[in-house]
Chain A
Amino acid sequence: MIGGRTQWAALAAVAAGLALAALGPRVSLGGEYLYVGVVLTALAAMVVGGASAIHRRSEDGSIWLPAERETGIQVPTPGADLATAPDHRIKRRIRRQVVAALDCAPEEAEARIDAGAWTDDPLAATYLSSDRTVSRARRLVAFLRGDRIEDRARRRAVAALRALRGEGDA
């Protein structure tokens, strides 16, 4: 955008400025006109500098980004498909496991789940129940804690299921 001759001119200006600075009080130049000239010079410099800065900003800087080398062969973990599945599918699978774990007839098991009577944990009970929904107060607490309410509820439901199966802290 700006050629080599201008660079020489700029260097000359810097040299002249240094010379003036060195000569200092022995040179007296024309008062107010000088001041106006100085301001105009400064404004011109700012325009030039600003335009150049904007010109450069429009080009994107690129950096070296090496490819990932640490992972090797990538395979899923069992249950990973559930992580992105819609909530109702996960609920259905947990329900099925709870029905299997409860020691009674399927219809009675379904009834107990809907009533929330299969576990002591209120959040887990509400999560699986199709009759009840999680209260707003709980949602707020979860939000403040930084969890999503579904994540907490799922974790508690699976923990309750684990207790039901008698696996304890396996």
Chain B
Amino acid sequence: MTAFDDGPARLSVGLSICLAVAAALVLPVPVAVAIGFVGAALLNAGALLGAVRIVGYGTAVLLFAVVLAGLQGSGPVPLVASTLFALLAWDASRYGIRIGRQLGRGADTARVELAHTAMSTAVGATGAGLGYAAYRVADAGGSAPVAALALLFFGGVVLVATFR
């Protein structure tokens, strides 16, 4: 009889490692990729150790890398993809850590982990798709698009702030 092993669930950790590395690789600016790798390394370390805070720091670094890539003139598609992968990695690793603490590695949790990550991917991809569609619409010249974006952004953030 073995002691209860409450380490992070393996499938989720594996998924998050792949996603974090992908988030770094997808950026077109070398400096951003380098910083992205640092972030991915932090995120993966946190995922393997079961430390949620370190996963958070790693994700923050990955997002800084996205901003940097944007400032260096990256197109919107890599930025969106990197953000999506980074947030999915964050989600998967936090989920894996929590499930591991609750049910342990000995329990068969693969199906729920896959279901959770699949749902999150669907949500994120939908958001990315809708946003990209709006971007193509707003791409047609003038100062109005910037105003449009600002309003969208303000409204969206306030909405987020009112949520739990």
Contact, chains A and B (beta carbon distance below 8 A): yes
Q: Which residue of B lies closest to A72 (CB)?
A: B1
Closest 8 pairs (CB-CB, A-B): A17-B151, A13-B155, A52-B161, A14-B155, A17-B152, A20-B148, A21-B148, A10-B158
Given contacts A37-B150, A38-B146, 17 further A-B contacts (CB under 8 A): A1-B162, A6-B158, A6-B162, A9-B158, A20-B147, A21-B137, A21-B145, A21-B148, A24-B138, A29-B144, A31-B143, A35-B143, A35-B146, A42-B153, A45-B158, A52-B160, A70-B4
Chain A 38-63 per-residue mask, 1 if CB under 8 angstroms from chain B, else 0: 10011011101101110010000001
Judge if B140 is at the interface, Cβ distance under 8 Å.
yes
Judge if B102 is at the interface, Cβ distance under 8 Å.
yes
Contact B144 A49 (CB under 8 A): no
8 A-B pairs within 8 Å (CB atoms) are namely: A6-B158, A12-B155, A31-B143, A34-B146, A38-B146, A45-B157, A63-B98, A65-B102
Contact A45 B137 (CB under 8 A): no
Chain A 90-111 per-residue mask, 1 if CB under 8 angstroms from chain B, else 0: 0000000000000000000000
A124 CA / B145 CA spacing, docked (Å): 79
Residue ranges of B at the interface with A (Cβ–Cβ < 8 Å): 1, 4, 98, 101-102, 134, 137-138, 140-162, 164
Which residues of the other chain, A, contact B147 by a CB distance below 8 angstroms?
Answer: 17, 20, 29, 34, 37-38
Contact A2 B145 (CB under 8 A): no
Which residues of the other chain, B, contact A11 by a CB distance below 8 angstroms?
Answer: 155, 159
Which residues of the other chain, B, contact A63 by a CB distance below 8 angstroms?
Answer: 98, 101-102
A52 CA / B157 CA spacing, docked (Å): 10
Which residues of the other chain, A, contact B164 by a CB distance below 8 angstroms?
Answer: 56
Which residues of the other chain, A, contact B157 by a CB distance below 8 angstroms?
Answer: 45-46, 48-49
Specify which of A6, A16, A49, A51 is in contact with B151 (CB 8 Å cutoff): A16
Which residues of the other chain, A, contact B144 by a CB distance below 8 angstroms?
Answer: 20-21, 23-25, 27-29
Which residues of the other chain, B, contact A22 by a CB distance below 8 angstroms?
Answer: 137
Which residues of the other chain, A, contact B138 by a CB distance below 8 angstroms?
Answer: 21, 24
Judge if A76 is at the interface, Cβ distance under 8 Å.
no
Specify which of B134, B143, B146, B154 is in contact with A44 (CB 8 Å cutoff): B154
Contact B154 A13 (CB under 8 A): yes
Which residues of the other chain, A, contact B141 by a CB distance below 8 angstroms?
Answer: 24-25
Specify which of A28, A45, A52 is in contact with B142 (CB 8 Å cutoff): A28
Which residues of the other chain, B, contact A131 by a CB distance below 8 angstroms?
Answer: none
Contact B134 A18 (CB under 8 A): yes
A10 CA / B98 CA spacing, docked (Å): 34
A64 CA / B101 CA spacing, docked (Å): 9
A25 CA / B138 CA spacing, docked (Å): 9
Judge if A167 is at the interface, Cβ distance under 8 Å.
no
Specify which of B4, B142, B150, B155 is in contact with A25 (CB 8 Å cutoff): B142
Q: Which residue of B lies closest to A70 (CB)?
A: B4
